[in-house]
Amino acid sequence: MGIFFDLIIGGFAIGACYALVALSMVIIYKTSEVPNFAQGEMAMVATFVAFSMIQSYGIGFWTTAAITIVFSFLLGCALELAFLRPAKDPTVLGLIVITLGAEMILYGIAGWKWGANQNPFPVPFSEYSGIMVSGVMITEINIWTFVTSVIMMFLLFLFFRYTKVGVAMKAVQQNAFAARAMGIPTRRILTFTWGLSSVTGAVAGMLIAPIATLDPNMMLDPMMKGFAAAVLGGMTSLPGAAIGGYLLGLIENFFGGYVSLEFKSVVAFAVIVLILCVKPSGLFVKHYEKKV
Amino acid sequence: MRKVLWLTLCLSLCLMVSAGALMAAEKVRGVTDTEILVGQWGPQTGPAALWGAVARGTGVLFELVNSEGGIHGRKIKYFLRDDSYQPAKTKAIGKEFIEDIGVFAVVGGVGTSCGMAVRDDLMKNKVIWVAPSTGSTHWIDPFQKYLFAVYPLYIHEAYLLTQYATETMGKKKIAFFYQNDDYGKQGLEGAQKYAKEKGIKLVAEVPVEVTDTDLKSHALKMKEAGADAVILWILPKHAAIILGTSKAMGFSPQWISSTTLSDSELMFNITKGLWKDVVYANFLNQQSLDRLKKYMDATEKFAPQEKYRGIFFQAGFLFAEPFLEGLRRAGKDLNPDSFVKAMESIQRWNDWLGHDLTYSPTERQGMKSVYLAKCGDDGKPIKISDWLTYAGK
């Protein structure tokens, strides 16, 4: 029974990280219908900036976290302005390729600036101790990751449901032309979306780095899994993507624990294929077709 | 008169053709009167980037040799390429080394799978390859005339570590945590070999994929098996994650690791101190203080920008030293065959950072010994054994 609970805790812990990455992807997808493949590297660069502030300048963690959030917002906006805005009448495929290009550039910059080695990312909560439930340790970082992902999900839900900007973002996704006709500054909304998504990714990065160590490849696996989680839950549903993240974490852990460790990583991608075949819009999104 | 003219013309043509053929025969790929072209690949980016420091260390040693006048009047022109630990990229680099640059030799080269991607091409083209930076059996089996292995075999190293854990440390339940590729599997084979000989069984054999970051279920498997010692054959990143994850689960076996994680100060740092008391194998003789100092001074001079100067960087010196010795012994008349002959004359050579280097016309595994160390306070290495040599076949 111990192993069962351990797998549940492990599943939720890593699932919360996937959920945050999935949320950050969904935010951009909701507005522009583009999966942003630079998401992982944006989070990684923001985490490296946080690391530098703590390590080189001795700034406290919470101050660093606040500055990093501002930085990541600006980074997201800057990337949108620098890479996507100049593209003339781009197709979705073209935009995807642009995000891949941005990913490579950020990866290269991180390697040049901080090197390719692993770094320990210090956090003010313990990675090894916490509370014991039924003989299973739930560490402080597990709790922080889980609570943070739930809070982020809730805040984003409120933002999209009850704020003007949030509603405008949804409008841009559903019909950019009509939104513009209604006076919504679609370009500014898109830039804001990238900033918001970057902030969510940066939070994920700062929670993943203490466990996975910080290096330019840090987000490679979480990013792919986060994408899988978003597909699983639904690329246009914030709660769906978050639940997809938790589900994927649980599926992976149980598969690794009870079936095969060799194929544990493959499960995420098998899930993508399966969901795309059975329910392309995701588990928590109603499938609808655009009418002319 | 016409006959004489024709005869003269034919004779001149014959002479020209023979002279051309002779010149072509004398021209050795990658060797001129003033230069020797040498290549090395190594991951400067990607998950194994830490090990890429090997190639940079080698570069510094070549700079040092060049600053001292080179070897037999020839300076070494060095080509370092980043393969990101991806065999497909290594394959392309191998092609570049052979066909575009035309190197005389390859020195080092991190990654078993990466090395395997180019081994046959290098050998077919008689490119000398000294010291692949992995302990795989693929370098010596089947026998390759132009390939000289330095790195002690993973199989032997794992055998010795399992033996030490069982016989010296008294561990009864040993688990093996390995990277699911040639590198990890060869380590596993060594541990299994020892276990089979002693009639015991490893309590868990747990694989990990290079891209994995969540190792909870891996740690659980070993915890459930009741392991009191775990031997690691993985990437530094995975070592940091598994130690942290296990500690959070209250699983604290004796961790034992391969030479690939032998930079105790770095491991201590990235594991936030959890690396303390980890036992690991090493083959870089850190007692050679004068030699190491000379090389580190050279690093300051030729690569002052180098951020990482730990054991993997220093291993780059060690892997290049046998090649340099081979060049010295081969003399002025350098070609693949004279180099092979020179290398085969190396017997129990100890004027380097390694131990007892020996080759012969039938022996291509140069170094067979490792020593064990333990990570002390602040990551300082504490030597806990003398050189250990695998006694079996």
Whether residue A96 is contained in a domain is answered as yes
pLDDT number for residue B67: 97
Whether residue A108 is contained in a domain is answered as yes
Pull the structure tokens for residue A287: 């499938």
The backbone torsions φ and ψ at residue B333, rounded to the nearest 5 degrees and listed phi first, read -85, 85
Superfamily of the domain at B154-282+373-389: Response regulator (3.40.50.2300)
Whether residue A152 is contained in a domain is answered as yes
Whether residue A284 is contained in a domain is answered as no
For residue B360, pLDDT beyond 70 = yes
Contact yes or no for B50 and A3 at CB 8 A = no
- Residues 21-80, chain B: which have Cβ within 8 Å of A? 43-47, 49-50, 52
Q: Which residue on chain A is closest to B222 by alpha carbon? A: A257
Question: What does the pLDDT look like over B164-180, one tens digit per residue?
Answer: 999 999 999 999 999 99
Q: Which helix (H) or strand (E) holds A111?
A: helix A92-114
Q: Which of B46, B216, B221 sits opposite A217 (nearest CB)?
A: B46
Whether residue A290 is contained in a domain is answered as no
Tell me the CATH number at A39: 1.10.3470
Residue B393 banded pLDDT, cuts 50, 70, 90: low
More confident residue, B11 or B315: B315
- Domain assignment of residue A157, given as a range: 2-278
Cis peptide before B142 (omega within 30 of 0): yes
Q: What is the ipTM of this complex?
A: 0.81
SS3 content of chain A, % helix, strand, coil (to 5): 75, 5, 25
**Closest chain A C-alpha to B72 CA, distance in angstroms:** 37
For residues B18-22, average pLDDT: 50
Q: To 10 degrees, the CA torsion angle through A171, A172, A176, A179?
A: 50
Give ranges for CATH 3.40.50.2300 in chain B.
35-151+286-362, 154-282+373-389
Whether residue A288 is contained in a domain is answered as no
B250 touches chain A (CB under 8 A): yes
Distance CA B282, CA B279 (A): 10
Q: Which residue on chain A is closest to B238 by alpha carbon? A: A212
pLDDT number for residue B17: 52
Strands B254-257 and B279-282: parallel
Per-chain mean pLDDT for chain B: 91
**Closest chain A C-alpha to B252 CA, distance in angstroms:** 12
Question: What does the pLDDT look like over B284-293, one tens digit per residue?
Answer: 887 777 899 9
Number of domains in chain A: 1
Question: What does the pLDDT look like over A74-90, one tens digit per residue?
Answer: 999 999 999 888 887 77
Whether residue A289 is contained in a domain is answered as no
pLDDT number for residue B7: 62
Superfamily of the domain at B35-151+286-362: Response regulator (3.40.50.2300)
Q: Which of B50, B180, B207 sits opposite A117 (nearest CB)?
A: B50
Q: Which residue on chain B is closest to A256 by alpha carbon? A: B217
Question: What does the pLDDT look like over B100-117, one tens digit per residue?
Answer: 999 999 999 999 889 999
Contact yes or no for A6 and B216 at CB 8 A = yes
For residues A139-162, average pLDDT: 89
A268-272, B231-235, B357-361: the lowest-pLDDT one = A268-272
A63-67, A215-219, B75-79: the lowest-pLDDT one = A215-219
List of residues 6+ apart from B379 with CB closer than 8 A: B264, B265, B266, B267, B268, B269, B275, B276
Question: What does the pLDDT look like over A174-203, one tens digit per residue?
Answer: 788 888 888 888 889 989 999 999 999 999
Residue A51 banded pLDDT, cuts 50, 70, 90: very high
Whether residue A223 is contained in a domain is answered as yes
* Radius of gyration for the alpha carbons in chain A, expressed in angstroms and rounded: 19
Contact between A184 and A18 under an 8 Å Cβ cutoff? The reply is no
A57-71, A128-142, A277-291: the lowest-pLDDT one = A277-291
Pull the structure tokens for residue B201: 């069984």
For residue B137, pLDDT beyond 80 = yes
pLDDT number for residue B24: 47
